[in-house]
Amino acid sequence: MTPPLILEPAQPADACVIWLHGLGASRTDFEPVARMLQQRLPTTRFVLPQAPTRPVTINQGYPMPSWYDIRAMSPDRAIDQPQLEASAHQVLNLLSEQQAQGINPARSLLAGFSQGGAVVLHTAYIEADLPLGGVLALSTYAPTFDESVALSDVQRAIPLLSLHGSHDGVVLRSMGRSAFDKLEAAGVSAQWREYPMEHEVVMEEIQDIGDWLAARLG
């Protein structure tokens, strides 16, 4: 397994963001964004894990970095849930490693783009029962959420920032909004940001993420 890319801050770390890339990408995908954010967050470590390479059914079985297999696109996604759960446990292990290095879970945040976002939503609001500092859900969805999401008090207290493109043709806006609505209905302090973009990341979005992180970690 490829080790995560770890970006140490300018000052001793007292917080961390674990950031998962999307399907077919790599651990370096969000490195420029993380380094930009560290200019505002001089004590925050960024941990950028790498998904395993495996066949992806919707891409004709071609092997690529993937947090889980996607078997069909309709109606939302048909996924290999055990693989997603295994990826969530990989994230939990990273959280444990950060805690062993002195980072309080309350100053540990999870972020993920697209497929990576689905993993962090599952990790924070289904698998874990940790008082995390927050979740960043970028252009993503929640294939493991039921119609209503039953949360513990600890999970309910994890704030969420959902960011999505109004022109996203890969993960439809409605899919991202559904995940957001379910968590908001379950009592999560959730914010929604929408941008006139496709399945991508834009500078305005990065600035909003920086503001949101600084409010929690500054």
In the set 66, 69, 164, 168, the catalytic residue is 168
- Tokens 């001089």, residue located: 42
Confirm whether 29 is a catalytic residue. Answer: no
DSSP character for 81?
H
**114 in catalytic set:** yes
**DSSP 8-state class, residue 160:** E
Of 66, 114, 139, 162, the active-site residue reads 114
In the annotation, is 199 catalytic? yes
Nearest to 66 by CA among 83, 42, 85: 83
Nearest to 176 by CA among 127, 113, 128: 113
Under the phi-then-psi rule, with left for phi > 0, alpha for psi from -120 to 50, and beta for the rest, what region is 62?
Answer: beta
> Residues 14, 76, 199, 208: which is the catalytic one?
199
Q: How many residues does the chain have?
A: 218
Burial class (CB in 10 A: 0-12, 13-18, 19+), 1: exposed
Residues annotated as catalytic (active site), given as ranges: 114, 168, 199
